[in-house]
Amino acid sequence: MTEKTPVAPWYRQPWFWFLTIFPIAAICSSMTILVMGSTADRSMVTDDYSKEGRGINMAIARDQKALDLGLEGGLAVDGRNASLTLNDAEGPVDYPYLIMSFYHPTQSERDRIVQFRKVADGEYYGSLVSDMDGRWYYDLQGPENDWRVKGELWLPAENTHAVKAKSPTGG
């Protein structure tokens, strides 16, 4: 090698890139993980496990009361209109209104609450704010929130969906 041999600039040296590519990749990936971790929604994480644990017993009691009352009926959703029929062991129920919460399995921002107003004994009508499609969990409760009927349905549904109180132990 002579003194007149041209030397390539630093950015054209292969050893420079070989030695710096891994630290640069580590810095970029750590910055990406840091940004994603600090801006991600943490709606599935709870802070107070003991409070949720105490609430389980209350939820089981509400499910058991719905089973004891023998609540059953049908839910029909047609676009943004929903009709609900509900009977207990003695016949049609007589509540001034009912509240049904719809929970999306993966996206909490899509959850909806519908208040059904009484049309006749055992018949209720409610309006949805927007069209709903796909899989949903529902939670139907009375005005005093002392019973609860829960289940799962797929919307849009062609037929009336059966709403029936089930055993809180899953049996």
Query: Does the residue 110 lie in any domain?
Result: yes
Q: What is the pLDDT of residue 99?
A: 93
pLDDT of residue 21: 94
pLDDT tens track, the chain, 171 positions: 567 788 888 888 889 899 999 999 999 999 999 999 888 776 666 666 677 777 777 888 888 888 888 899 999 888 888 999 999 888 888 899 999 999 998 888 889 899 999 999 889 999 988 888 889 999 999 899 889 999 898 888 777 888 888 877 654
| Three-class DSSP category at 120 | strand
* 40 in any annotated domain: no
Dihedral through CA 147, CA 95, CA 100, CA 77, nearest 10?
Answer: 130
Q: At 137, which helix (H) or strand (E)?
A: strand 134-141
Given this model, what pLDDT does residue 43 score?
65
For residue 96, what pLDDT is reported?
93
Q: Closest by alpha carbon to 155, among 97, 75, 85?
A: 75
Question: Does some domain include residue 101?
Answer: yes
In a domain, 154, yes or no: yes
* Residue 153: CATH number of its domain: 2.60.40.10
User: Looking at residue 105, what DSSP letter applies?
Assistant: S
Q: Is residue 25 part of a domain?
A: no
**Alpha helices, H only, the chain:** 14-39, 49-69
**Whole-structure pTM value:** 0.65
> Would 91 be classed as within a structural domain?
yes
pLDDT value, residue 170: 58
In a domain, 98, yes or no: yes
Host domain of residue 142: 71-164
Report if residue 56 sits inside a domain.
no
How many domains does the chain fold into? 1
